[in-house]
Chains A and B, each alone.
Chain A
Amino acid sequence: MRCPRSGTAAVALALLLLGALAGAAEAGPRRNLTYNLPEDRLESFALEVRQVVETSFTRLPPESKDYDVDDLMSRIGRSESKATGRLERVVARAFRDGSYGLVTRVAALEGTTDRGEGPRPLELNALVGKSLSLRVLSSGQVVDSFGWGHLAGASGGGDLVADALLQSVLRLPNTLPRGRPVMATWDLRVPVDAFLQRVQSWVLTWTEAPAPADCKRCTALSYTGTLKEVSRDVHPARPMSLEGEGTVEGTLILGAGSRRLQQHDWTTRWTRSVRSHRANDTLRGELSQSVELTGSLRAVEP
Chain B
Amino acid sequence: MRATLLALLLLLPSAAGAQGLGGKVTDRLDSAGSPTDRYLDSSEVRTVLHAANESFFLCFRRASGSRAGVGDASVEFTIERTGATSGVRADLGTDLPGLKDCLEAAAAALVFDDHDGDPVDVAYPTVYAVDKKGARVLDYPVVFTRPRPVRLPLLLLPPDVTHGEVLLLERLLTHDAPPQPVEPVSGEEAPDEEAAPPAAGDPEPTAD
- Which A residues have a C-beta under 8 Å from some C-beta of B? 4, 8-9, 11-12, 15-16, 19, 23, 51, 53, 55, 60-64, 67, 69, 72, 75-76, 79, 81, 92-93, 95-97, 99, 101-103, 105, 111, 113, 115, 120, 122-124, 126, 129-131, 133-135, 143-147, 149-150, 152-157, 159-160, 192-193, 196, 198, 231, 233, 235-242, 272, 274, 276, 278-279, 284-285, 287, 289, 291
Contacts and interface: CB of A to CB of B under 8 A. Distances in A.
B148 interface: yes
Nearest to B156: A53
Given A103-B38, A276-B173, A276-B174, A16 B158 contact: no
Contacts of B81: 129
Interface of A is mostly: mixed
A231 B29 contact: no
Interface in B1-53: 2-4, 6-7, 10-11, 14, 17-21, 23, 27-30, 34-39
Nearest to A270: B156
B197 A237 contact: yes
B172 A238 contact: no
Given A238-B153, A238-B174, A278-B176, A154 B39 contact: no
Interface of B: 2-4, 6-7, 10-11, 14, 17-21, 23, 27-30, 34-39, 81, 116-118, 147-161, 163, 165-166, 168-169, 171-177, 197-200
Given A193-B150, A291-B156, A76 B165 contact: yes
B99 to A, nearest CB: 36
A81 B199 CA distance: 27
B159 A157 contact: yes
Contacts of B39: 146-147, 150
A120 B177 contact: no
Given A63-B177, A144-B21, A147-B38, A113 B116 contact: no
16 contacts: A9-B6, A11-B3, A16-B10, A55-B156, A96-B23, A97-B17, A101-B29, A122-B160, A133-B37, A153-B149, A154-B161, A196-B150, A237-B197, A238-B152, A240-B155, A274-B154
A61 B20 contact: no
A147 B159 contact: no
Contacts of B36: 92-93, 101-103, 133, 135, 146
Contact of B20 (A111, A143, A146): A143
B19 A123 contact: no
Contacts of B19: 96-97
Contacts of B159: 79, 81, 111, 113, 122, 124, 156-157, 159-160
